[in-house]
A and B are shown apart, each in its own frame.
Chain A
Amino acid sequence: MIRPRHWVGAAFVDKGILMSQPAIELKGISKAFGSVQANKDISIRVMPGTIHGIIGENGAGKSTLMSILYGFYKADAGEIFISGQKTAIPDSQAAIFAGIGMVFQHFKLVENFTVLENIVLGAESGAFLAPSLRKARAELAELATEYELNVDPDAVIEEIGVGMQQRVEILKALYRRANILILDEPTGVLTPTEADQLFRILGRLREEGKTIILITHKLREIMDITDTVSVMRRGEMTATVKTSQTSPENLAELMVGRKVLLRVDKVPAQPKQQVLEITGLNVVDDAGVARLNDVSLSLRAGEILGIAGVAGNGQSELLEVLGGYQSATGSVKVNGATLDLTGANSDGQSRRANGIAHVPEDRQREGLIMDFMAWENAVFGYHRDLAHQANRFFMDNAAIKAETAAKMQRFDVRPPNPNLTAQNFSGGNQQKIVLAREIERNPDLLLIGQPTRGVDIGAIEFIHQQIVALRDQGKAILLVSVELDEILSLSDRVAVMFDGQIMGERDPAKTNEKELGLLMAGVTGEAST
């Protein structure tokens, strides 16, 4: 069905004319924040009715570019053309008027409003609510039929699932007559099945002539769904290619500037004695909700146990209990010694004394003190250790600095300057500082949460190698990650968590994303356990 209404500014234009012009063209867009050049002379054309991917590492400038397109920032230089017409976008209202809709990584929904109320918010058609809602309800029904985007208009946001919430975000854009949809890291919070459903919707939108820009760091998604892809690196557009003419390896190389190994080379595991034994672990939060429900796990020396699952299903609580700052009931034994699980305030010191090291999920919030210098962060958690003291009263700052400089060399932290504050390092280098600190303690059990979140591809390679090397030295590693690729590539065994429970365990060599995806969504079949 061809919708005859396509807006360009205030004029109705026949769809036929639009097809020959790029839906979006950016010429020479530059934007600096202080001394940081976030976007440098970016030029790009996106044809209508296509899905265009934008890929790049953290800090490459993708979000800044999209924020300029959506009116949040004003470019220092350059021009924006929508369907061939030069357009100024001083704020998001202008962007919406130009037909641009944006679906953010973190949804902009009011939790206690209904779907209908959220869609209408800001686009009401008058002073009274009821007529607006009526009109919206009718439109919504039309949109749902046309794009197969089925939602219950009267459902309350906080009660519907994440996949559904994302559909509401897309509908919000479509309700505002968006022809161009920008999606920023849309699959971060979705299970594989939900991601597939999203891509089907995007395909449908493409058929209807919509233009879609997909910002992601996931190479496989780019390959699966996009027609063209642009690669950004350090604020510049390094290449725009047809997806059919490239490969993940090629894209990775364009992103980093050198060849990158995407799969981890590892020998089969040789697990030895039991290191970790968890039985019947239960965690109840302040609101009385069970975050961990009768969790039992075991882990041996020389193996990597990967915990897969969408964020928020109890993995964080599991790590916090083992790390010593979340109280729990049940039994946890490390190397035979029973751990005290009542420490809600912090028992981190005794955990570390028991040979447990922890690379936390949120390195900026927990793993590092951003204002501390690298050398101060290098002993964070181990600052009371006698090895770092000059005498009974003072810390040996000089020795710590020297040791940190050496660690930074070993772990290829750039720049290898112990006196820079953690703030000044990129995400990947910050993570390396934390890893170096935890790994060099020679722990018996290493807990790692989201090791490569926000980390550039070059550093991901290095970090994966370090984890496998540690395993080969005979250490036990508990790996929590929302990236299934990472779990499958690194783990010797995979356990899936959903709603605070272990849904099942699998051998990574014998399972696949689909099977794990079902477990991640809480679907148990005869085949599980």
Chain B
Amino acid sequence: MGVMPKWADVVLVPLISLFIAALLSALLILAIGESPVAALKLMIEGTLLRSSGWGYMLYYTTNFIFTGLAVSVAFHAALFNIGGEGQAMMGGLGVALVCLFIPWPHWSFAIIGASLGAAVFGMIWAGLPAYLQAKRGSHIVITTIMFNFIAAGVLNFFLVGALKPKGSMDPATANFPATTHLPTFEDMASLMGFEKMFRAAPANVSFFLALVACVLVWVLIWRTPLGYEIRAMGKSEPAARYAGIGSVKTIMVAMMISGALSGMMAINTTQGESERLILNFTEGAGFIGIAVALMGRSHPLGVLLAALLFGFLYQGGAELALWTKIPRELIVVIQALVILFTGALTLMVRGPLERLFLSLRREG
């Protein structure tokens, strides 16, 4: 600590880790007989060089920003929130209830209502494990994982029962009314006169909501007394007790904010894309959020960049699966390598880098 300049710590280390992961992935791709260069070219063309590629990428990125922020806030309190999936599912339930049963005049009102619904449901779903941890010491990692399963069951129950429209065979709710539909990037581009952009891509206005969330989380953690208390408690519980920071209250508040953020992911998927509540809509975003938070070092800017990277990997991976013989599983392996090197193995990079800077400093 303090050996490397800040820029090296925050930029160089993740970049080098990424590079190593990419190198190993390239070797893997070679091993199955495809060209890594061609694969990379395909990924970039399919994702960054087409507007609809961006449209898909930013759709995934929005999900990952929300779940990444959620895990980050909990990390600041030294809590490992693995329950993003379940909290997002419950958020989806909240969104569905708000959109189906309240007559909204316009989407700009609907999104506020849906945000509240998603946040409240996510909050409650995170609040229960938080209470158990704070009051009884039940480990949050265990309880939040279990709550993921419970949430899936609850969702199932509603989608097969109460919320399923009569006569339908599909475990899903009815379509949300048109007034709740969020404008996609395609819609927004057409409004501004750019036709034929972001064709059919699912990215929508909730992307901007995610950006706002980044700013709000930054302000909360580093500019408010509550954020101060969350960080203090995360760093040292004995010190927090000395300073009069209530641990029960702080654990619960941090987890509830985390749950609210996870829940809000559902606005993107449920209100923005599918426009009804379906089973399994989270598709593992809750877990990717963990990787995003680790890679982004729990800082909103880092989370944004990491979420962009993972969005790129997701969409690029889909392109690869479509156009080459590279199987979907390999994409998952590549994603795993990225997580491995930027999350778990940073020390592998950090150690030699610190020694390098030290020797440069000695000579200088």
Chain A residues whose C-beta falls within 8 Å of the C-beta of B228 in the assembled complex: 376, 383, 395
Given A345-B247, A395-B225, the answer on whether A34 and B235 have CB atoms closer than 8 Å is no
Chain A residues whose C-beta falls within 8 Å of the C-beta of B280 in the assembled complex: none
Q: Does A43 contact B (CB under 8 A)?
A: no
Complex CA–CA separation, A369 to B2 (angstroms): 17
Chain B residues whose C-beta falls within 8 Å of the C-beta of A421 in the assembled complex: 1
The answer to whether A34 touches B238 (Cβ under 8 A) is no
Q: Does A275 contact B (CB under 8 A)?
A: no
Chain A residues whose C-beta falls within 8 Å of the C-beta of B358 in the assembled complex: 34-35
The answer to whether B241 touches A370 (Cβ under 8 A) is no
The answer to whether B236 touches A369 (Cβ under 8 A) is yes
The answer to whether A34 touches B3 (Cβ under 8 A) is yes
The answer to whether B224 touches A393 (Cβ under 8 A) is yes
Q: Does A409 contact B (CB under 8 A)?
A: no
B190-229 residues with Cβ-Cβ distance < 8 A to A are: 219, 223-225, 228-229
Given A369-B232, A395-B228, the answer on whether A324 and B244 have CB atoms closer than 8 Å is yes
- In-complex Cβ contact of A347 among B2, B238, B244 (8 A): B244
Chain A binding surface, main DSSP class:
loop
Chain A residues whose C-beta falls within 8 Å of the C-beta of B243 in the assembled complex: 346, 348, 380-381, 383
Q: Does B242 contact A (CB under 8 A)?
A: yes
Q: Closest CB of chain A to B362's CB: distance in Å?
A: 8
Q: Does A351 contact B (CB under 8 A)?
A: yes
Chain A residues whose C-beta falls within 8 Å of the C-beta of B240 in the assembled complex: 346
Q: Mark the stretch among A202-210, A219-227, A281-289, A358-366 that contacts chain B.
A: A358-366
Chain A residues whose C-beta falls within 8 Å of the C-beta of B238 in the assembled complex: 362, 365-366
Q: Does B246 contact A (CB under 8 A)?
A: yes
Chain A residues whose C-beta falls within 8 Å of the C-beta of B219 in the assembled complex: 394
Q: Does A424 contact B (CB under 8 A)?
A: yes
Q: Does B239 contact A (CB under 8 A)?
A: yes
Q: Closest CB of chain A to B63's CB: distance in Å?
A: 28
Given A35-B361, A370-B236, the answer on whether A383 and B242 have CB atoms closer than 8 Å is no
Q: Closest CB of chain A to B355's CB: distance in Å?
A: 9
Closest A residue by C-beta to B220: A393
Q: Closest CB of chain A to B11's CB: distance in Å?
A: 20
Closest A residue by C-beta to B358: A35
Given A34-B358, A365-B236, A383-B228, the answer on whether A397 and B242 have CB atoms closer than 8 Å is no
Closest B residue by C-beta to A349: B244
Most A CB within 10 A of own CB, among B3, B219, B238, B354: B238
Q: Does B40 contact A (CB under 8 A)?
A: no
A437-484 residues with Cβ-Cβ distance < 8 A to B are: none
Q: Does B248 contact A (CB under 8 A)?
A: yes
Render B348-364 as a binary contact track against A, CB cut-off 8 A, 1 for contact: 00000010001001000
B307-364 residues with Cβ-Cβ distance < 8 A to A are: 354, 358, 361
Render B248-261 as a binary contact track against A, CB cut-off 8 A, 1 for contact: 10000000000000
Chain B binding surface, main DSSP class:
helix
Complex CA–CA separation, A143 to B239 (angstroms): 47
- In-complex Cβ contact of A394 among B3, B223, B236, B244 (8 A): B223
Chain B residues whose C-beta falls within 8 Å of the C-beta of A394 in the assembled complex: 219, 223-224
Chain B residues whose C-beta falls within 8 Å of the C-beta of A360 in the assembled complex: 242
Complex CA–CA separation, A42 to B297 (angstroms): 42
Complex CA–CA separation, A352 to B242 (angstroms): 11
Q: Does A384 contact B (CB under 8 A)?
A: yes
The answer to whether B361 touches A397 (Cβ under 8 A) is no
The answer to whether A351 touches B242 (Cβ under 8 A) is no
- In-complex Cβ contact of B241 among A325, A350, A368, A424 (8 A): A325
Give the contact-size bracket for chain B: 20 to 34
A293-352 residues with Cβ-Cβ distance < 8 A to B are: 323-325, 345-352
Q: Does A158 contact B (CB under 8 A)?
A: no
Closest B residue by C-beta to A382: B243
Given A383-B228, A393-B224, the answer on whether A366 and B239 have CB atoms closer than 8 Å is yes
Given A371-B235, A372-B235, the answer on whether A348 and B225 have CB atoms closer than 8 Å is no
Q: Does A101 contact B (CB under 8 A)?
A: no
The answer to whether B244 touches A348 (Cβ under 8 A) is yes
The answer to whether A424 touches B244 (Cβ under 8 A) is no
The answer to whether A383 touches B3 (Cβ under 8 A) is no
The answer to whether B236 touches A383 (Cβ under 8 A) is no
Q: Does B245 contact A (CB under 8 A)?
A: yes
Complex CA–CA separation, A380 to B235 (angstroms): 13
The answer to whether A368 touches B239 (Cβ under 8 A) is yes
Q: Closest CB of chain A to B268's CB: distance in Å?
A: 27
Complex CA–CA separation, A400 to B228 (angstroms): 13
Most A CB within 10 A of own CB, among B231, B236, B247, B248: B236
Q: Does A423 contact B (CB under 8 A)?
A: yes
The answer to whether B242 touches A395 (Cβ under 8 A) is no
Q: Does A367 contact B (CB under 8 A)?
A: yes
Given A34-B358, A393-B224, the answer on whether A372 and B232 have CB atoms closer than 8 Å is yes
Q: Does A132 contact B (CB under 8 A)?
A: no
Chain A residues whose C-beta falls within 8 Å of the C-beta of B224 in the assembled complex: 393-395
Chain B residues whose C-beta falls within 8 Å of the C-beta of A376 in the assembled complex: 228
Q: Closest CB of chain A to B221's CB: distance in Å?
A: 11
The answer to whether B236 touches A367 (Cβ under 8 A) is no
Q: Closest CB of chain B to A99's CB: distance in Å?
A: 37
- In-complex Cβ contact of A384 among B3, B223, B225, B354 (8 A): B225
Q: Does A389 contact B (CB under 8 A)?
A: yes
The answer to whether B223 touches A346 (Cβ under 8 A) is no
Closest A residue by C-beta to B2: A424
Complex CA–CA separation, A315 to B324 (angstroms): 72
- In-complex Cβ contact of A395 among B3, B223, B239 (8 A): B223
Chain B residues whose C-beta falls within 8 Å of the C-beta of A393 in the assembled complex: 223-224
B1-29 residues with Cβ-Cβ distance < 8 A to A are: 1-3
Closest A residue by C-beta to B244: A348
Q: Closest CB of chain A to B281's CB: distance in Å?
A: 34
The answer to whether A380 touches B1 (Cβ under 8 A) is no
The answer to whether A346 touches B245 (Cβ under 8 A) is yes
Chain B residues whose C-beta falls within 8 Å of the C-beta of A423 in the assembled complex: 1
Closest B residue by C-beta to A326: B241
Render A412-443 as a binary contact track against B, CB cut-off 8 A, 1 for contact: 00000000010110000000000000000000
Q: Closest CB of chain A to B183's CB: distance in Å?
A: 31
Q: Closest CB of chain B to A463's CB: distance in Å?
A: 19
Chain B residues whose C-beta falls within 8 Å of the C-beta of A368 in the assembled complex: 239
Complex CA–CA separation, A376 to B240 (angstroms): 13
The answer to whether A365 touches B361 (Cβ under 8 A) is no
Q: Closest CB of chain B to A148's CB: distance in Å?
A: 42
The answer to whether A367 touches B239 (Cβ under 8 A) is yes
Chain A residues whose C-beta falls within 8 Å of the C-beta of B246 in the assembled complex: 345-346
Complex CA–CA separation, A360 to B246 (angstroms): 18
Q: Closest CB of chain B to A335's CB: distance in Å?
A: 19
Most A CB within 10 A of own CB, among B1, B223, B244: B244
Having A360-B242, A394-B219, one finds 6 other A-B pairs with CB under 8 Å, namely: A346-B241, A366-B236, A369-B239, A383-B228, A383-B229, A421-B1
Closest 6 CB pairs of A and B: A348-B244, A349-B244, A381-B243, A366-B242, A325-B241, A394-B223
For this complex, 17 residue pairs linking A to B, each with C-beta atoms less than 8 Å apart, are: A35-B361, A345-B241, A346-B241, A346-B245, A348-B243, A351-B244, A352-B244, A358-B242, A369-B236, A372-B232, A380-B243, A384-B225, A393-B223, A394-B219, A395-B223, A395-B224, A423-B1
